[in-house]
Chains A and B, each alone.
Chain A
């Protein structure tokens, strides 16, 4: 069944503009973990070969390469708009119906909810790209289950935005497994393992262990009297109260959440006659349990033990993100539940009304700003200069006047050429969660070994040791930034993972993507017998 008319596409475009219109203004949206710069450096760390745990791999490499060709702000705007538009459209297209209104309800339910709002406001754009890919991956998985030719190539291409980050890659793998069915599980697993290899290979080659003390700090949070369980079941409940829309305190919300969930379950029962949706619903329930694990009795202790001893288990720390798996069965179930209602579009209005403060970029939360000229000056001075840069004050986050004092990740590693060392420990409500970069730990101890330059960012909280600066040679003194050369600096050898397996992982993932594209275009793919897919 095809979507009828342009109404669905127009609705998705309208939703996108309603949520993100301010993002279109010139400049960069810099909030919490979201950092874009005019031209991100192509360096070893971006490919997972740095000293620190590769948390932003492969997205840093992809953005770095893209910003060599197009300005970073354009990449950011396209990525953010794609999150809402593609997510909404995909959810609308998944529903097997002839009624556009039903598709619109699914589109609104999937793209206009607490999960999207909270993760946008905390700047988790790569996670949201994975979220937006889920409906498309589900469609590819269902085609694989049906034995359609070339369906695996669809799965590869639909997964691409998601595998930019580790959580996104895991989200699509789960969805693909749930939709493709047991008979195709090995094919799906093989695709998932290869496509995700650019992040999991370097992660395994590091020790991959995270500080378990963040398990409780990053656990799901109650947003209203419904407690964390109903907050999470309503697709919210992120740990950070600062990014939660005020409307999540709506006293009617817990009751409405239960009503909507009941309607979605009713709709899934109806939908099960047309689509194999129960595995997807089961995955959604699993995602909700995972999201709530740290608030269940004994959950924190279990989580801390797992994070302390299992490499990569740090992914479970901010576990609310896994409720993303619930969003798709909820959206399509709700849509089918209202299929016979004459006033079904009112349900879409209800969903919009429940979260009015996602509109207009959260009314000031997502507002582009320009980098002060000092940043370009320092970048110019450091171009083609040997030596790594240490950034002070020692803090992962910044709050500048030129960005309306929004909390934002330090932009230096993505703005300056070469390798930049920043403090990667996190403070949550005063509790410090240790970082993973050994060079950052040495900086905290006052050791400048291997550091050729020191950058001091001004106008942000934190102190800088004046005795340290007195030993250095000042080469730039601007209103926002000061740059110092470290006399007699001796470069240190990179201490990242071995290059060969990481390169092999990139080649494997690239080859699979290239083969999928060619398979869809070349005669060998187009005329291949369907049997080959089975």
Chain B
């Protein structure tokens, strides 16, 4: 059981690092600036019917 606890601790740490890492990457990846410019362009020419969402 001790071994399992240690394994759980390792997986928990890895998951936390992965989760936070995914957010950090999503917020800072090199295309972010390009995406922001595209967003601004989209806002300037927004469609007549707003999307409920996108896949």
Contacts and interface: CB of A to CB of B under 8 A. Distances in A.
Our verdict on whether A and B bind, yes or no, reads: yes
- In the A-B complex, the 8 residue pairs with the closest CB atoms: A353-B16, A240-B53, A461-B46, A343-B5, A350-B12, A246-B26, A247-B19, A252-B18
30 contacts: A32-B52, A32-B53, A240-B55, A241-B53, A246-B22, A247-B22, A248-B22, A250-B21, A341-B8, A342-B5, A343-B6, A346-B8, A346-B9, A350-B15, A353-B16, A354-B16, A354-B19, A357-B19, A357-B23, A395-B49, A407-B53, A423-B49, A428-B52, A428-B54, A428-B55, A429-B53, A429-B54, A429-B55, A461-B46, A461-B49
Contact of B1 (A248, A341, A397): A341
Interface string B23-46: 101110000000000000001001
Contact of A250 (B18, B46, B48, B55): B18
Interface string A4-34: 0000000000000000000000000000100
Contact of A240 (B22, B49, B52): B52
A402 to B, nearest CB: 15
A399 B48 CA distance: 12
Given A122-B53, A246-B26, A397-B52, A350 B1 contact: no
Contacts of B18: 247, 250-253, 354
Interface of A: 32, 122, 217, 221, 239-243, 246-253, 256, 259, 338, 340-343, 346-347, 349-350, 353-357, 393-399, 405, 407, 423, 425-430, 432, 460-463
A239 B55 contact: yes
A350 B51 contact: no
B11 to A, nearest CB: 6
Contacts of B2: 342
A396 B1 contact: no
Contact of B12 (A340, A349, A356): A349
A343 B9 contact: yes
Contact of A242 (B9, B22, B46, B54): B54
Contacts of B48: 393-395, 461-463
A236 to B, nearest CB: 13
Contacts of A350: 8, 11-12, 15-16
Most buried by B among A248, A340, A346: A346
Contact of B15 (A248, A256, A423): A256
B55 A347 contact: no
A353 B19 contact: yes
B16 A341 contact: no
Given A342-B5, A461-B48, A353 B53 contact: no
Most buried by A among B14, B26, B43, B50: B50
Given A122-B53, A242-B53, A407-B52, A461 B12 contact: no
A462 B55 contact: no
A32 B52 CA distance: 7
Contacts of B51: 397, 407, 427-430
A274 to B, nearest CB: 20
A528 B36 CA distance: 67
Nearest to B10: A346
B52 A427 contact: yes
Nearest to B6: A343
Contacts of B50: 395-399, 407, 427, 460-462
A340 B5 CA distance: 10
B11 A256 contact: yes
Contacts of B55: 217, 221, 239-241, 428-429
Contacts of B22: 246-251
B19 A250 contact: yes
Nearest to A425: B49
Contact of B8 (A239, A343, A398): A343
B49 A432 contact: yes
Contacts of A32: 52-53
